[in-house]
């Protein structure tokens, strides 16, 4: 007799698989970070942060966020057509962005507040295409529950990126952070694409233009609501990076970037993997059961992460100086004051998926507008108070917004539960 396994046991098993892969993938760059911070300057990290934020905002626009819809269709043929749709959109959008960035290269670099980014703007469209394709492949593999493959692919990407970072950095080239990122993602995307083609090409033979068009209309909420939401998130990140660069310096942005990345490690080790599996779990669950699933999930995240973020708050400054060098002391201060913000960010990371399943992306959109405007308004209002003081105000404000966002998800999930009970 086949042994019964509860859905939550399957959820835990899948989550642990992704957590293991993500942990290994994060250990590699963390392990070499003390070397990289001595090979690359805060200014190098600042230029890299600008590059990444530009790629992120264009990537959100390029695919129309249709990659999120890959998880939803009941039929595999429809999911394959959505994957094809994201690929076509990524190609077209990347080509358009190449023309725009080439024509307005000098103007854009001046707006960003850093002339060194100018030559890298020509590389952005290629990075956007890679990013869109990789995300779409990841959602496809998530749909197929190939978590071991996803976990291994993350390790491969991290390994190639890290080795390239070291090699170029040892050669004394500050642009190694950008080039290594592109190299690692290129390798990971190619490997994942070949494996997907090997396993599922019989499904891709059913891709056709008319079906892609029909599905683009069926899931039009993603470009209409999820896309603006994603754009707002990335405008916020780019806006913060630009404000730091223009108000303080690109070196200060490098300090902020390292602090954000290092504090985010415990979040990405667990939260990113759990969020992917959580999305698959709630997408296939009955809506009346969402409240229980969310409650259990949030509680686990709090218990897992709270001791970590308390430690970051208390000891980040000393740790950054010892591990990364004296020139990174400002990053240590930034990490300490941002710990409460990133703790709430970690806890709330899966909540957007709840609103997707409930068909209430409008709630996420409204929250994103508030979440985008808050830090930018704080920068405009309090910029003369100094970098760390401004960051402290932003951290507490963003934490409060995220807390309200979580409560809103609980309210809507509870309504679904009560509506089923009343109908019975």
> For the segment 367-402, what is each residue's pLDDT rounded down to a tens digit?
888 998 999 999 889 988 989 999 999 999 999 999
Q: Give, as one character, the DSSP assignment of residue 226.
A: I
Q: Are 211 and 78 in contact (CB under 8 A)?
A: yes
Residue 78's closest CA among 196, 281, 219? Answer: 219
b/e sequence 292-301, b meaning 16+ C-beta within 10 Å: ebbeebbeeb
- Rounded mean pLDDT of the chain? 86
How many separate helices (H) and strands (E) can be counted in the chain?
A: 17, 0
Burial of residue 206 (number of CB atoms within 10 Å: 0-12, 13-18, 19+)? middle
Cβ atoms of residues 202 and 332 within 8 Å: no
C-alpha span between 206 and 124 (Å, rounded): 32
Q: Please give the Cα distance from 293 to 297 (Å, whole number).
A: 6
Helix (H) or strand (E) holding 260: helix 250-263
Can you give the pLDDT of all 424 residues of the chain as single tens digits? 444 444 445 666 776 777 777 778 878 888 899 999 999 999 999 999 999 999 998 988 888 888 988 988 889 999 999 999 999 999 999 999 999 999 998 888 888 878 888 889 999 999 999 999 999 999 999 888 888 888 888 899 999 999 999 999 998 888 899 999 999 999 999 999 999 999 888 888 888 889 899 999 998 888 887 777 777 778 888 899 999 998 888 999 999 999 988 887 656 666 666 776 777 777 777 777 788 888 888 888 888 888 988 999 999 999 999 999 999 999 999 999 999 998 998 888 878 778 877 778 788 888 888 998 999 999 889 988 989 999 999 999 999 999 999 999 888 888 877 776 666 6
Please name which of 242, 238, 323, 309 lies closest in space to residue 56, comparing C-alpha atoms: 238
Burial (CB count within 10 angstroms: exposed 0-12, middle 13-18, buried 19+), residue 95: exposed
Residue with tokens 């959008």: 93
């Amino acid at each position: 007799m086949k042994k019964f396994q509860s859905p939550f046991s399957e959820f835990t098993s899948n989550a642990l698989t992704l957590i293991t892969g993500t942990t290994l993938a994060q250990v590699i760059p963390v392990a070499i970070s003390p070397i990289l911070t001595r090979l690359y300057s805060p200014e190098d990290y600042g230029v890299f942060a600008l590059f990444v934020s530009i790629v992120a905002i264009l990537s959100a626009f390029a695919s129309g966020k249709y990659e999120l819809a890959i998880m939803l269709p009941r039929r595999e043929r429809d999911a394959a057509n959505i994957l094809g749709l994201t690929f076509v959109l990524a190609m077209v959008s990347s080509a358009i962005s190449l023309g725009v960035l080439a024509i307005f290269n000098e103007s854009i670099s001046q707006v960003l507040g850093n002339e060194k980014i100018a030559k890298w703007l020509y590389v952005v469209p290629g990075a956007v295409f890679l990013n869109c394709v990789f995300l779409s492949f990841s959602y496809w593999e998530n749909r197929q529950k190939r978590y071991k493959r996803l976990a291994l692919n993350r390790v491969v990407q991290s390994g190639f990126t890290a080795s390239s970072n070291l090699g170029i950095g040892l050669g004394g080239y500050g642009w190694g952070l950008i080039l290594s990122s592109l190299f690692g993602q290129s390798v990971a995307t190619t490997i994942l694409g070949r494996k997907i083609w090997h396993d599922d090409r019989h499904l891709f033979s059913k891709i056709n233009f008319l079906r892609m068009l029909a599905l683009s209309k069926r899931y039009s909420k993603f470009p209409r609501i999820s896309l603006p939401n994603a754009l707002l998130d990335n405008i916020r990140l780019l806006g913060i990076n630009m404000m730091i660069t223009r108000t303080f310096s690109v070196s200060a942005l490098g300090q902020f970037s390292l602090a954000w990345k290092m504090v985010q490690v415990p979040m990405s080790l667990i939260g990113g993997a759990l969020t992917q599996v959580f999305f698959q779990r709630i997408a296939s669950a009955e809506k009346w059961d969402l409240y229980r699933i969310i409650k259990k999930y949030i509680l686990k995240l709090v218990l897992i992460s709270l001791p970590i973020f308390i430690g970051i708050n208390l000891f980040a400054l000393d740790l950054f100086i010892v591990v990364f060098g004296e020139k990174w002391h400002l990053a240590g201060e930034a990490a300490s004051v941002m710990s409460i913000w990133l703790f709430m960010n970690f806890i709330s990371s899966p909540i957007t998926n709840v609103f997707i399943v409930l068909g209430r992306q409008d709630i996420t959109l409204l929250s994103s507008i508030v979440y985008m405007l808050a830090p930018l308004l704080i920068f405009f209002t309090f910029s003369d108070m100094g970098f760390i003081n401004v960051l402290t105000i932003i951290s507490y404000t963003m934490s409060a917004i995220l807390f309200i966002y979580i409560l809103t998800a609980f309210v809507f999930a509870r309504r679904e539960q009560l509506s089923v009970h009343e109908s019975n």
